[in-house]
Amino acid sequence: MTAPATEGPVAPVSGWARVYSIAAAVLLVAAAVAAAVAILRFADSERRRDLAQWQARLSLVADSRQAAVQAWLDQNLGEMRSIAENQAVQLYLTELSQAKGDRAAVTDEPAQLGYLRNLLVVSAERAGFGGGRATSVGANVRRTGSGGIALLNADGKVLVASPEMPPIDEALARRVAAAPKDKPAVIDAFAGAAGSPTIGFLAPIFAVQSDPGTSARIGHALGLRELGEGFHALLRQPGAAPGSAEVLLVRRGANGSEYLSPLGDGTPAMRRAVGAEDLAREMRGDLAAGLDYRGRDVLAVMRSFDAVPWTLVYKIDRDEALAESTARRRSLIVGLGLLVALVAAAFVAVWRHASSRRATEAADRYRALARRFERQETLLRTVTDSQPDLIYLVDGDGAVRFANAAVAKRGGVAAAALVGKSLADIVGPDHAKRIAEVNRKARKQGQPKSRLMREAREDGGERVVQTGHIPIGRGDGAKSAVLVVERDVTGAVIERERRARALGGVVDALVALIDRRDPYCADHARRVGQVAAAIVEAMALDATHRQTVQTAASLMNLGKVLVPTEVLTKTGKLSDAEMQQVRESILHSADFVAGIEFDGPVLQTLRQLQERVDGKGYPQGLKGDAILLPARILAVANAFVSMVSPRAWREAIGMDQAMETLRRDRDGAFDRRVVAALEHVLENAGGAERWRDFARPPQVVKA
């Protein structure tokens, strides 16, 4: 056994201390390596973010320039289509076609040809197909201009042209012959008469009053123009800063590809082919990375066109685009590397300095936390134990983590013994299952929930419990705890139901009194309530609507106590004054129950029962949705029952006839949705069978 050291040399480090030191060093190295990897990954993510930003910026310009070029192509095709659809052009070529090319047989041929020549000159000047005005250019005169517009016959021969229209050589004739026969087309760029890049626009001309098609084509409108500075200006983005960014047009072909636009090194258009080194070698979504025609690394985006085999390429030197990103990445790596080294050095120093104090401080801290938690638990338990409600905390696995004295009393054990137990062991499996279902919804939605639960007692009675469920905790909602508060509200619910039964008894007695005064309307209120409830169910409305229409139906005839019996039982037609008495009786019904508090809008429903959807009702003239939905439902149910039930002055009307009457007055007196719901009940939900007895005459007992 080693004696404790007093003075003299420091005792050698024990074996376990050496193991701890090695483990700490290994962890430090691992942390440094992990930090380096994290730094590189972060720097790489920053670079990908910069590339994504450049993709968006390049795409914005490329889309803009593509739209400008496409609009230019569409505009020129539109010019040719306009000429081809000109009635004078179609008339002249139709006559020439019918005369099999004999111009002498064309009506007033010189005048028509002169008009067409002027038309082509004006169109060429306006649309930019060449320029200048000539006095007379016939089909047999050689033209050496840079562009123009010409009318061709079915064989591709020039009939008339604008002054600067170049000749149609063999190669151009082949392009015209290969164009689609029934729709406008673009003749792709070629070396024109002066050797400059030229493009053609072709539109078929069809005979007058013939359907467009190959068989009816009698010629073409052809426009040629140079791909000059005006066209190349479309490739320059307005407001773009100078730099290496460049918009190029590349034409794809079976025998290779070439640049259709001038290059930044001064190479004219159509003077350089696209080599393999110029094609993108790497794609990141819509962003290409590769070598351009100068052999430099670039970032680029590409856009294609529908009418021509062109590709628009917008590129920028990679070094220029990512210069700021590269510098920021280098600074980030160096800075974070130094920070990691500094943190590691500080960690070693602090670890060596504080290792002797760490355990003592941790123990003191844990003791302070334990005392704090103990005081908090004492306060929490003091507050909750003073409450008669059951208060407990249930985790995601259904285990109780806290319970107050009321829960312990119900479980018959101490509160501390409940922690960790299953809720089913404390409150029973059935009640625990219902609690768990509401807890699940509270966790899923992250919001407090409340429920009214009924359950049988052992003595045969019923127990009603109001429960509140409050989700607590962060992170995974499926595993968070839920604080449950249970309150026994049996007495309050029983008292409320007793008052409701008493009110229902009073209502039934009043309804019976009215039924005795008007035997032909006996059971009318009950029947209206049945029909209205069926409509509510068909419309998938909630229980409040159902309770409202049934209560209002029971009370709607109370006001008839103010109507004389002789009026109620009169067999002849009622006078206007008598009708007004009956009409006002429903409003009197509302006045009788004005002081009673109902769960739904019963009073408002009674006051609006005689309103009409079209606004012509009584007494306020409400219209459409301004009338409560229960009132609209009750109006349809009341009218239906009144029609299919016999009265003192008439027999019952058949259900089909009653429905036809209701359908005729849709959007007038009645809501069409409510009428449709009633029709559904009659035809598909057994309503016609259930209510067949409505047509039976009442058993009138004579006094």
- pLDDT band of residue 108 (cuts 50, 70, 90) is confident
Range of the domain at 449: 386-488
Q: Which residues on adjacent β-strands are paired with residue 346? A: none
Same domain, yes or no, for 147 and 223? yes
Q: How high is the pLDDT of residue 81? A: 94
Bond into 646 cis (ω within 30): no
More confident residue, 203 or 359: 203
- Indicate whether 144 belongs to any domain: yes
Q: What is the CATH number of the domain that holds 626?
A: 1.10.3210.10
How many Å apart are CA 239 and CA 665, to the nearest integer?
Answer: 67
Q: Does residue 664 form part of some domain?
A: yes
pLDDT band at 417; cut points 50, 70, 90: confident
577/672 same-domain check: yes
In a domain, 105, yes or no: yes
Considering the domain boundaries, does residue 565 fall inside one? yes
184 and 217 together in one domain: yes
- Pair 529, 426 in one domain: no
CATH value at residue 440: 3.30.450.20
The model's pLDDT over 258-272, given as tens digits with 9 standing for 90+, comes to 888 898 888 888 888
Query: Is residue 471 domain-shared with residue 518, that is, in the same domain?
Result: no
pLDDT, one tens digit per residue, over 299-331 is 889 898 988 889 999 988 888 888 887 777 777
Q: How far is CA 503 from CA 32, 109, 499, 526, 558, in A?
A: 80, 103, 6, 16, 14
3-class SS letters over 356-409: HHHHHHHHHHHHHHHHHHHHHHHHHHHHHHCCCCEEEEECCCCEEEEECHHHHH
Last residue of a domain, one of 210, 232, 254: 232
Same domain, yes or no, for 484 and 511?
A: no
Residues 608 and 581 in one domain: yes
Q: What is the pLDDT of residue 659?
A: 94
463 and 589 share one domain: no
Most trustworthy range by pLDDT among 140-144, 388-392, 536-540, 564-568 = 536-540
What's the whole-number mean pLDDT along residues 5-24? 53
Last-in-domain residue among 232, 261, 296: 232
Burial class (CB in 10 A: 0-12, 13-18, 19+), 201: buried
Strand 246-253, strand 449-456: pairing: unpaired
**What is 39-80 written as a DSSP string?**
HHHHHHHHHHHHHHHHHHHHHHHHHHHHHHHHHHHHHHHHHH
Same domain, yes or no: 570 and 465 = no
Number of domains in the chain: 3
In a domain, 360, yes or no: no
Task: Report which of residues 360 and 9 the model is more confident about.
Answer: 360
Q: By the 8 A CB rule, do 193 and 144 touch?
A: yes
Q: With 50 as the cut, is the pLDDT of residue 547 above it?
A: yes
545 and 637, same domain (yes or no): yes
Q: Are residues 479 and 522 in the same domain?
A: no
Residues 594 and 639 in one domain: yes
Instruction: Quote the tokens at residue 39.
Output: 């730094």
Q: What mean pLDDT comes out for the span 7-36? A: 63
In this predicted model, which residue has the larger pLDDT, 222 or 321? 222
pLDDT at 10: 41
- Residue that is last in its domain, among 177, 207, 232: 232
* Number of residues that this document lists for the chain: 703
Q: Specify if 269 maps to a domain.
A: no
Q: Torsions phi, psi of 180, nearest 5? A: -55, 145
Specify the DSSP class assigned to residue 647: B
How far CA 672 is from CA of 368, 432, 664, in Å, comes to: 73, 47, 10
Q: Which helix (H) or strand (E) holds 436?
A: helix 429-445
Determine the pLDDT at residue 621.
Answer: 93
Residue type for position 537? E
**Could you tell me if residue 239 is inside a domain?**
no
Residue 255 lies in a domain: no
For residue 59 the two structure tokens come to 């795409």
What per-residue confidence (pLDDT) applies to 19?
67
